[in-house]
Amino acid sequence: MRGERASGLALALGALVALGSVGLARAQQPSAEDLARETAKLELRLEAAKEDGAYLVLNPASDALVVMLQNVALREIAVLDADVGAPRTLFMARKGPRDLAGRIWRAGSVDPPLVVQRRELIVEKIDPDPTGQEEIVPPTPQEAYPAPERFRVRFEGGLEMLVESYRGPEGERGSAKLGSTGWFRERWETLWPGKASPLRLRLLLDAKDAAELWRSLPQEGVRLLVEP
C-alpha cells in the first residue's frame, strides 16, 4: 500500500517537472521579433562577407572593431571609447541618418589618405657591373607612413567615422573628454554649413592600433558594419 502511494507520488512529481520544463522551454523561446532581428543581423553579415575585400565590423557589445574578410576575423582592435553624434546648431543637434546599425556603410574614403610610395626602376640596358650599387635599406612602415593623430573615413550616405589616438599609460582606458584644441576644432568644423557630416561615429583607439588601422585600411571603398 505504502509502495503504491510512493510510486504515485513520484509519478505526479515527474509529470509536474515535465510540465514545468515544457513551460520553461516555451517561455525561453525567442519571439517572432527576436528571430526577425536575428535574421536581419545575419543577412547583413552574409551580405558583407560575400563582397570582395576586407571590411570593418564594429561590435558595441564587445567594444571591438574587427577587420574581417569573408566573415573571418583578421584582427580585433579594442575600442577604448565610442560615441555617436550629429552636428549641433545653437545647442540643438541637427537631424541626420538614424539607421547606424541597420545597413552596411560603403565607399568610405580615408582622410588623410595614405599614398603608397612606389619606386620606379626602368631597365634600359644591361649593366655589366652591378657590384657598385649600394644596398638601399628601405624604411619600416612606421617610418615610411607616419600615421596622423586622428583620421576620418567618410562613407556614402553621410556617416563619418572619426578615429582618434589615445596615448595614455599602457593598460589604462582612454577618456572621452576632448582637449581644448578638440573642443575648438569641433566647433570650427560645425560652424560652416556642409563641412560637418550629418552623422559622426567617434572611436578612441590605442595610438598604435589606430596607426596600424590607418595604414592597413583600403584607401577607397572602406565598408563598415555596425552590429546591432
Partner 1 sequence: MTESLSTRQGAPAPGDGVASAPSPPRPRPAAPPRRPLPRALWWTGAFVVGAFLAIGVLWAGGGYSRVPLDRAISSAPMAEIPLAKNGTPDLRALRNEVRRLERELRAFQPRGTYVVIDRMNNRLWLRQGDDVVLDAPVSTGSGTVLLEQGSGRKWIFDTPAGVHRVRHKVEDPVWRKPDWAFLEEGQPLPKNAGDRLEYGMLGEYALYLGDGYLIHGTLYERLIGRSVTHGCVRVGRDDLRKVYASSPVGTKVYIF
Interface with partner 1 (CB under 8 A), residue from 90, 134, 171, 179: 90
Task: Kindly indicate which of the ranges 17-25, 47-55, 150-158, 167-175 contains the residues binding partner 1, using the contact rule CB under 8 A.
Answer: 47-55
Regarding 220 and contact with partner 1 (CB under 8 A), the answer is no
First to last CA, the chain: 61
Distance in Å, CB of 228 to partner 1, minimum:
3
Q: Rounded to the nearest 5°, which phi and psi values hold at 187?
A: -70, -35
Cβ atoms 179, 166 nearer than 8 A: no
Interface with partner 1 (CB under 8 A), residue from 16, 19, 21, 89: 89
Task: Kindly indicate which of the ranges 5-13, 14-22, 86-94, 150-158 contains the residues binding partner 1, using the contact rule CB under 8 A.
Answer: 86-94
Task: Kindly indicate which of the ranges 8-16, 124-132, 148-156, 166-174 contains the residues binding partner 1, using the contact rule CB under 8 A.
Answer: 124-132
Cβ atoms 151, 111 nearer than 8 A: yes
Q: Restricting to residues 21-40, which ones interact with partner 1 according to CB under 8 A?
A: 29, 32-33, 35-40
On the 0-12 / 13-18 / 19+ scale of CB atoms within 10 A, 36 is exposed
Regarding 102 and contact with partner 1 (CB under 8 A), the answer is yes
One-letter amino acid of 16: L
In Å, what is the CA distance from 198 to each residue of 88, 135, 228? 10, 51, 20
Total chain residues near partner 1 (CB under 8 A): 83
Regarding 69 and contact with partner 1 (CB under 8 A), the answer is yes
The three cell numbers of residue 142 are: 612606421
| C-alpha torsion sign, points 29, 32, 36, 39 | positive
Regarding 106 and contact with partner 1 (CB under 8 A), the answer is no
Q: Restricting to residues 166-205, which ones interact with partner 1 according to CB under 8 A?
A: 176, 183, 186-187, 190-191, 196, 200-202
Regarding 77 and contact with partner 1 (CB under 8 A), the answer is no
What residues contact residue 93 under an 8 Å CB cut-off, 6+ apart?
A: 85, 86, 87
Task: Kindly indicate which of the ranges 1-9, 14-22, 84-92, 166-174 contains the residues binding partner 1, using the contact rule CB under 8 A.
Answer: 84-92
